Structure 1
């Protein structure tokens, strides 16, 4: 069981994330059981374990990962490294090149094909093989600039971890079942800006290739399950509002010159359309494949984790 005194040390982290006192209950009932699950797996494997954390935009993946990492380290003495798929987005220049050579929609970060999966694999490989005194650089991405942070700003993980957490909205996503699934547009973005389905096909081809090999490494998959696509849009809009507040500026329209790239509500809605196809697919089929499912309520509260006991049995 978790050390209650060590759990009390999480208050500075709660303050940092501007979380209400009620989040203590979420920590105790949801995140601590997750940490117990992960540390048991790590002890059994006797090697660094790779844990995937999936959740649609706005479900709280980053916050969950932050607290899970802290509890694993401070309560269960598991050295834990983490990074997000967001951290390995292609640079803006690389996405602009894809937009010119493949399809204009690829300038927008997010979908499979806009990440540097080779970079993510390099990070994992270095962490898995690291010695006690080795330092592994972990990439970061500056969303306010819509570009990868300079290498000098990347944090470094020292030594070999017991656990590596990888979180992202499309972690463990599957490609389309067949060509017919790709053919029908799911929203106005696909209908009007991807009339021939070139963008959809490219994204799906990427998901079939390097992404599947990357996801196949996972030792365990945790899913934060959003209640609906409408909630995803609402939550992602709220995230952008908070980003604007932190940056001390109003929306700039996303593509305006200058240091801020904060989207308006209409632009967030268009942005989410890039994610909609795969998000809907994951909401429909991923709960049956995840090792742990946590339902996210409309008020953003997290339910109790449901752990897979056997094939097709969640309890």
Structure 2
């Protein structure tokens, strides 16, 4: 992670030179690729030099279970599971980025993955006015929609068996072309942590879940809502199509692409 951090830090410091407005930095990467760890370390390094920095995760914009249940009833049952576009509070994300851009103080939401519910407002992070850098990290930050023809054929068993008519993936793709495009248009720069392929994601995601379980147990909190390996194998199928598309399309336009090996070390 140190090598990736060095690359991203150098790029950010270059982008900050002569900038008068806050830098909204998009950080994209597959599940388990180390986005959150890198974002935390980058914030520490920048703040050590007096560069006011905060982090907003796309995951912290997930809708509540009740809101996703409405989507499941009205659009498609697969939208009950958090993850893909349509399951985030995009309007809140846009408003937050605009507040930061205007130089105002803000409170950033948090999401509890163990409960699969947003944290109450009392647990949100207060961020002072006049930030220099906001790191906006997430698995599909900066993603663009696919061509209509590309979403016709299912990429996995989930799509074949539970979205046989393609209505779920069409709805997700349409969201990327609309509200999510407006959200991602607010990025000044985009960094991609490019996994070597989707085949590593299950292992990375399992490591991530076990690390979360360890932290929760250390804090005396319940781990009942966390997933085991079979549950993760199903869960990552929700992410597969867009993850593969990001790895294919985004490197050609990201401001910085770091291609990772199986151990998350940059190869370029």
Normalised to the residue count of structure 1, the TM-score between the two structures is: 0.80
Larger relative contact order, structure 1 or 2 (CA cutoff 8 Å, min sep 6):
2
Give deviations 1:5-30, integer Å, cap 9, x for gaps: xxxxxxxxxxxxxxxxxx6xx1xx43
Structure 1 residue 291, shift from structure 2 partner = 0.9
Q: Does 1:286 align with 2:255?
A: no
Instruction: Structure 2: state its 5+ residue gaps.
Output: none
Structure 2 counterpart of 1:242, from 211, 214, 236 = 211
Secondary structure of the residue that 2:18 maps to in structure 1?
helix
Which structure 1 residue ranges, 4+ long, deviate > 6 Å from structure 2?
Answer: none
Q: Does 1:39 align with 2:27?
A: no
Structure 2 contact 144–176 (Cα < 8 Å) conserved: yes
Structure 2 counterpart of 1:71, from 42, 45, 51 = 45
Structure 1 contact 39–78 (Cα < 8 Å) conserved: no
Q: What is the rounded CA distance, in whole Å, between the counterparts of 2:14 and 2:151 in structure 1?
A: 40
Question: Structure 1 259/238 Cα, relative in aligned 2: closer, same or farther at 3 Å?
Answer: closer
Give deviations 1:45-72, integer Å, cap 9, x for gaps: 2111111001000100000101111111
Q: What is the rounded CA distance, in whole Å, between the counterparts of 1:45 and 1:215 in structure 2?
A: 20
Structure 2 contact 71–80 (Cα < 8 Å) conserved: yes
Question: Structure 1 232/219 Cα, relative in aligned 2: closer, same or farther at 3 Å?
Answer: same
Alignment correspondent of 1:224: 193
Larger radius of gyration: 1
Secondary structure of the residue that 1:263 maps to in structure 2?
coil
Structure 2 contact 22–131 (Cα < 8 Å) conserved: yes
Alignment correspondent of 2:262: 298
Structure 2 contact 213–223 (Cα < 8 Å) conserved: no
Q: What is the rounded CA distance, in whole Å, between the counterparts of 1:31 and 1:299 in structure 2?
A: 15
Structure 2 contact 163–169 (Cα < 8 Å) conserved: yes
Q: How many residues get paired?
A: 265
Instruction: Structure 1: state its 5+ residue gaps.
Output: 1-22, 250-257, 305-315
Secondary structure of the residue that 1:112 maps to in structure 2?
coil
Structure 1 contact 30–303 (Cα < 8 Å) conserved: no
Structure 1 counterpart of 2:123, from 143, 153, 162 = 153
Structure 1 residue 101, shift from structure 2 partner = 1.3
